[in-house]
């Protein structure tokens, strides 16, 4: 591959494989391959739609709630900073962060669950990583010579493997992505950068929504409590909401530093000197320390118990399920009502997959519009 060489996952490693594109792309000497991928992703339609997709709160009760786009940008900041500290390829880490949620349907995890249940009834399932790959390889159409964004193998592999391992036996179609090997550290970092971003943001948005109280969080989330007390000692007398804001930043920095240090320690412990060493290792090396991992789990449980499954959000989830399920069944029963481009895909992909593809691409506002129209049509 004659493209400009990027800094490899570990210095001195032949990382050219990561730069491979399905279709040869002309050299752009001013930009690395991963910088070009970042541009392709940021300029994609699917990326712009992230602005209209739920992160946690579907209701627009506050303009300050994260959308999936602002969440994505927070993950990108953390991933890039961690990659820089570890001497990894910052452009690859940032690009993977920017694309990591591009396969999410509307209405956050409730929408994903509902879509998966709909597909299960047709013997299929919905997986947002696999859907993200379909978006960048198939649905985005920006180039005359081919479908898809023609991203490097490094980015496509990271889309598939950043958050979980797929078994080679069950996914022969993904053989290109070296399923028996661990992904580069840049990809391994993304899942944990994602954790850090949402563990911080969801406490923030939870308090903004009025569903969480700062004092209750401090009583139940050790890491936030420790950060809050440290900030309080330094800024005695400051109003609670400002102490909380500072504590959130300190918590985010604490988790990020822990991830960096522990990943460095793990990499050194196996004597990794090349990407091949990272790939060959039996488990992932980008990890939190045991203490940070325990505190991460404690906070995650707290968020599940008090926020994600609280009555107010469960009402939003029920509505999401109703909207997704109604529309899915409508187009399954009446496929000719699908837009022509999707209808044309039915022969190749099967109706259930095509309907799910159409729904998965929608923003919250667009799917609600479709729902209202379908309800009106059904009543007539």
Catalog residues that contact Mg ion under the rule CB under 5 A: 101, 194
Q: What residues contact 352, with CB distance under 8 A and at least 6 apart? A: 118, 119, 122, 123, 124, 332
Q: What angle do CA 353, 354, 359 make, to 5 degrees?
A: 100
Length of the chain equals 380
Query: What is residue 54's three-state secondary structure?
Result: strand
Nearer residue to Mg ion within complex by CB, 194 or 299: 194
- Report in angstroms how near the CB of residue 142 gets to Mg ion at its nearest: 24
Residues 321, 290 contacting (CB under 8 angstroms): no
- Report in angstroms how near the CB of residue 97 gets to Mg ion at its nearest: 9
Nearer residue to Mg ion within complex by CB, 194 or 208: 194
- Start-to-end CA distance of the chain, whole Å, equals 59
Nearer residue to Mg ion within complex by CB, 21 or 162: 162
E strand spans, the chain: none
Nearest position to Mg ion, beta carbon: 194
- Report in angstroms how near the CB of residue 378 gets to Mg ion at its nearest: 35
DSSP state of 23: S
Nearer residue to Mg ion within complex by CB, 194 or 357: 194
Query: What is residue 62's three-state secondary structure?
Result: coil
Nearer residue to Mg ion within complex by CB, 3 or 194: 194
Residues 316, 56 contacting (CB under 8 angstroms): no
Q: What residues contact 301, with CB distance under 8 A and at least 6 apart? A: none
Residues 47, 102 contacting (CB under 8 angstroms): yes
Nearer residue to Mg ion within complex by CB, 92 or 352: 92
């Amino acid at each position: 591959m004659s493209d400009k060489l990027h800094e490899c996952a570990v210095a001195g490693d032949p990382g050219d494989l990561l730069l491979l594109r399905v279709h040869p792309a002309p050299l752009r000497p001013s930009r690395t391959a991963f910088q070009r991928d970042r541009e392709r992703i940021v300029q994609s339609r699917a990326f712009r739609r992230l602005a209209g997709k739920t992160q946690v709160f579907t209701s627009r009760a506050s303009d300050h709630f994260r959308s999936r786009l602002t969440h994505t940008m927070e993950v990108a900041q953390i991933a890039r900073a961690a990659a820089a500290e570890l001497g990894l390829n910052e452009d690859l880490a940032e690009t993977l962060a920017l694309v990591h949620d591009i396969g999410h349907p509307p209405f956050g995890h409730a929408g994903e669950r509902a879509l998966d249940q709909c597909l299960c009834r047709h013997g299929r399932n919905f997986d947002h990583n696999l859907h993200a790959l379909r978006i960048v390889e198939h649905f985005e159409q920006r180039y005359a010579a081919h479908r898809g964004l023609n991203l490097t193998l490094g980015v496509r592999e990271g889309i598939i493997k950043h958050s979980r391992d797929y078994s080679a036996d069950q996914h022969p179609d993904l053989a290109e992505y070296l399923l028996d090997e661990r992904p580069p550290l840049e990809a391994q970092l993304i899942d944990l950068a994602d954790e850090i971003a949402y563990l911080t943001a969801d406490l923030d948005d939870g308090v903004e929504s009025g569903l969480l109280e700062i004092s209750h969080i401090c009583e139940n989330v050790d890491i936030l409590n420790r950060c809050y007390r440290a900030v309080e000692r330094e800024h005695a007398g400051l109003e609670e909401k400002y102490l909380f804001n500072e504590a959130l930043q300190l918590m985010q920095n604490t988790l990020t530093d822990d991830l960096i240090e522990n990943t460095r320690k793990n990499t050194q412990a196996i004597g990794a000197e090349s990407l091949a060493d990272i790939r060959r290792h039996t488990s992932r090396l980008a990890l939190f320390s045991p203490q940070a991992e325990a505190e991460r789990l404690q906070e995650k449980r707290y968020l599940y118990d008090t926020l994600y499954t609280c009555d107010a959000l469960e009402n939003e989830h029920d509505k999401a399920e109703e909207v997704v399920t109604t529309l899915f069944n409508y187009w399954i029963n009446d496929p000719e009502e699908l837009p022509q481009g999707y209808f044309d895909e039915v022969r190749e992909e099967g109706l259930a997959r095509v309907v799910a593809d159409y729904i998965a691409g929608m923003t919250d506002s667009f799917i609600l519009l479709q729902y209202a129209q379908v309800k009106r049509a059904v009543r007539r």
